[in-house]
Amino acid sequence: MKSLVLALWLVHSWYPLECCSDQDCHPLAEAEKVDGGYRAEGIFYPSAIVKPSPDNRFHACYAPKTKKALCFFAPLAV
């Protein structure tokens, strides 16, 4: 259990403050590249908020209540 908590903390430790208030971001199993950005979990993330992912995984950041896209992290090779 301690290793799971540590892993979750480490994932959240690099998200920029403007993207995440320690609860708005999470890793994704998959995302779809679409015209003008990405789509994941039914939310569109415009290219303007896409950032390179430091761990080469997809990560989504959105306001939980409104589902407003805040940031999206994508692997550089995608």
More confident residue, 9 or 57: 57
What pLDDT band is residue 64 in, cutting at 50, 70 and 90? confident
What pLDDT band is residue 5 in, cutting at 50, 70 and 90? very low
C-alpha R_g of the chain = 12
Number of separate domains in the chain? 1
- As a whole number of Å, the end-to-end CA separation of the chain is 33
Range of the domain at 50: 2-74
pLDDT at position 15: 87
Per residue in 9-50, pLDDT (tens digit) is: 455 578 888 887 667 899 999 999 999 999 999 999 999 999
